[in-house]
Amino acid sequence: MPLFPQLEVDVHLTHQLILARELLALSADDLALRVDAEIASNPALDWVSPTARRPMPASSNRGDDEHATDRLPASPSLEEYLLDQLRLQIAAQDVPIGLELIGSLDRRGWLSETAEAVAERLDAPAERVFAVLRVLQSLDPPGIGARNAREALLLQLDQLDSAPPARVALARRLIAERLDDLAGQAWARLARALGVSVTEIEATAAFIRDNLIPYPAYTYWGDETEGVTPEPDVMITLNRDHPAEPPSVTVVEAERYALRIAPSASRTASSLPEMGIHLQRARLFLASLRQRWRTLAQVTTALVAAQPDYVRAGRPQARRVLTQTDLALALEVHPSTISRTVRDKYAQLPGGRIVALAAFFTVDAPAKSALQALVASEVKPLTDHALCMALAQQGFQLSRRTVAHYRAELGIASTHHRTARVR
């Protein structure tokens, strides 16, 4: 029996609080990285079933705002692009294997099933399927055919021939060994673990962010992806039979991550001390993930109650004056909790339109005005990334996704379409 049981409980709660805060602040993309890294490094954590890790559905906007999204080009498709490359590098008899592998790619460009499953379905030798997969993974876009985020990033590193070797080496260690800390931006922890300075870690993290992407298929579309409406993290729906009732809030993100404690972990934890540690870590991660979803639901429900006209009409002009501090006071939480919750999170309104949770607040007018001025004065159409950097110089610290969302709300076309108009 521990000498100080209450102290052990407090330490456990502190760890959970820290992890919950880290997870709460992550965007959907960063959370996907973190979950993938956690599963890859913790044998006690697993998907509920092999089909639970389903491909991400394509984003759409079912509202009537014609500027809410710019459509992806219809042709040539990524599948055709990959097949054209693959035919040049494999034997004719292996083309059906290539077709099957390409057909098994999800929207992210990841292989959604194992090579062994493909081999069994085609009644082909597993070594032949793996050989074709290796060729597929060498094609453009870099990282295509990876089985998870870590492999996608490492495959892309292999193709960065002109990058400084020392920078690539450190990036490889971060991705291969410490992807969870990298996703959580735990710079000091990484510096201590790898024996380098925090400055080196931050510089390498910036190198990874600028040169690699966990979802290789996205790079095929280039700048066009900047105009695509992001997937919603929460859904706000009306009761059609009782329209006067408050809208309901569903955290759809929770449906994407059907995770569980691996059955084998519970059975072997008592006999294998190391598995016991993994089991504790898995429980902590799941508890923190559920806390993220509870907080996201609570804050979104409060936003819906505070902005009923905006929720139903979907027009920014319908918003009431509301700041993050106002909402924090109403929920009796610290303003930083509100900031973490709404940062890079999106909601789908009852009309189908997808908006940033930050759009529920009425403090974005100056940033939008600055964005309009930048676009109005541009000589050559700027990408959303370039607009993001220009706004940062004016004191507006916005993510590229938020800039893309503001641009869509203001009816500003994507870089591709603005360039076409100039021509």
Q: Which of 41-55, 104-118, 280-294 has the lowest mean pLDDT?
A: 41-55
By the 10 Å C-beta count (0-12 exposed, 13-18 middle, 19+ buried), 379 is classed as: exposed
On the question of pLDDT at 237 being above 70, the answer is yes
**Range in 10-14, 130-134, 331-335 with the lowest mean pLDDT:** 10-14
Side-chain-side CA neighbours of 115 within 13 Å: the count stands at 17
pLDDT at 278 over 60: yes
Model pLDDT for residues 106-118, shown as the tens digit of each residue = 877 888 888 888 8
Using pLDDT thresholds of 50, 70 and 90, give the confidence band for residue 291: very high
Long-range contacts of range 162-165, CB-CB < 8 Å, 24 or more positions apart? 163/207, 163/211
Close Cβ partners of 71 (under 8 Å, ≥ 6 residues apart): none
Cβ–Cβ under 8 Å, residues 41 and 384? no
Q: Band of the pLDDT at 304, cuts 50, 70, 90? A: very high
CA distance 178 to 195: 13
The answer to whether residue 63 scores a pLDDT higher than 50 is no
If pLDDT is split at 50, 70 and 90, which confidence band does 49 have?
A: low
Q: How far apart are CA 284 and CA 289, in angstroms?
A: 9
For residue 190, report the phi and psi dihedrals to the nearest 5 degrees.
-65, -40
- Whether 370 shows a pLDDT value over 90: the answer reads no
Q: Nearest Cα to 416, choosing from 389, 367, 374, 380? A: 380
Average pLDDT over residues 346-371: 83
Q: What is the mean pLDDT of the chain?
A: 79
Of the listed ranges 17-21, 159-163, 258-262, 293-297, the least confidently predicted one is 159-163
| Alpha carbons 333 and 323: distance in angstroms, whole number | 14
